[in-house]
Every structure is written in structure tokens, then in C-alpha cells.
Amino acid sequence: MRRTSAIYPGTFDPLTNGHLDIIERSSRLFERVVVAILVNPEKDPLFTAEERRDLIRASIEKMAKNVEVDVFEGLLAEYARRRSAKVIIRGIRAVSDYEYELQMALANRRLQPEIETLFMLPAERYSYLSSRLVREIAQHAGSIRGLVPRPVEKALLKRFKRA
Ligand code: PNS
């Protein structure tokens, strides 16, 4: 798989240490990993796509140089085709993630049959972690230390006016 490009898509509002763990693991498997942030006009995100992009870039600074961060709109399968990626990576935490992921993977396969979805497991200690949980904790002044990379922690503290 070393000579293959992979896309790691998501909302990343914001990036968590679980996401970062998947980025690190996949960067060891693939020649190139594109972290692709969805701009979803129907959602009202905490951070703009550009803010999310900059936070991910700042968080992966010390990581392997084969990771790129991009923003996309529209269909993921079409974006993956445009980027000549053969693999879509999705992190799975618990069985409850599976149903939605299965639906999405099969829809993407129908749209682009030659692109494979690869499910990866984050480290056990992050298996309960989600962006929604992090947003909620931060919003109610709980500690998010250790749940998100430092740049994200700082941005959340600032957003909720605690720094
Ligand atoms: O981090 P998320 O919110 O679980 O990521 C979901 C994402 C962005 C991967 C998914 O919503 C997506 O790919 N959206 C793009 C639209 C699309 O391609 N839909 C058809 C496949 S279900």
C-alpha cells in the first residue's frame, strides 16, 4: 500500500486526539494521506473550514511529511477520484459506528467502484472520543486536556472565552 494515496475525510469540528491517532497510523501505511475537511452548508460548525484546516495543520506539524490537509465540498467519492486516491480511510470506534459507516462505504463504492474504504481502529484510550463530546465539555468549562491536540485546546479555550 506504500505507493498509494489515501483520503481521510471528516468534519473535524474540531480535530481530536482520536483523529490524530488515525492520521498517524495511516501515514505509516500510505505514500500520501490527504486529510479532507467537508464544507457542509447544512451544518453550522463551531469552526470554519479554514479554521479547522489551520488547526489540523498546526497539530500535525511534527508528524510525517506525507500528510496534506485540504477542504472539499460535494461528494466524497468524486473528490477522491479527482485526487487520484484509491483508498478512503474511516476510523471506527464502537459497533454503533458501523451501521452508518457501512451505508456510507457502500454508497461510495457504488459511485466509484475502484475506490476502497478502509476501516481503522484508534488507540483504545480514544475509543469513546468524538468532536461532539469535546465541544460539549469545552462549552461547559470542563477540561479537554489530553483529548485534543494543544492548538485545538487553545482555540477551544479562546472560543469559549476562557483564555
Ligand atoms: O466526521 P464525519 O462527520 O463523520 O464525516 C462524514 C463525511 C464528511 C465523511 C461524510 O459526511 C461525507 O463524505 N460527506 C460528503 C457527501 C457524500 O459524499 N455523501 C455520500 C456518501 S454517504
**Quick one: which of 131, 157, 162 has its CA closest to 52?**
131
Q: Is the pLDDT of residue 55 over 90?
A: yes
pTM over 0.75, yes/no: yes
Give me the pLDDT at residue 84, please: 95
How far is ligand 1, taken at its centre, from the CA of residue 118, in Å?
14
- What are the DSSP E strand ranges found in the chain? 5-10, 32-38, 67-72, 87-91, 116-120
What percent of the chain stands above pLDDT 70? 98
Question: What amino acid occupies position 148?
Answer: V
- Complete domains list, the chain, with CATH: 5-128 (3.40.50.620)
Per-residue pLDDT band for 108 (boundaries 50, 70, 90) equals: very high
Tens digit of pLDDT for each residue in 75-95?
999 999 999 999 999 999 999
Separation of alpha carbons 67 and 26, rounded Å: 9
Q: Which residues are designated catalytic?
A: 19, 43, 93, 131
Residue nearest to atom 10 of ligand 1 (CA): 10
Ligand 1 nearest atom to the CA of residue 12, by list position: 1
Q: Is the pLDDT of residue 63 over 90?
A: no
Ligand 1-lining residues (CB < 6 angstroms): 9-11, 38, 75-77, 104, 107-108
| Of 7, 11, 35, best ligand 1 pocket probe by most atoms within 8 Å of the beta carbon | 11
Give me the pLDDT at residue 161, please: 82
Residue nearest to atom 12 of ligand 1 (CA): 76
Give me the pLDDT at residue 144, please: 96
Q: Is the pLDDT of residue 24 over 70?
A: yes
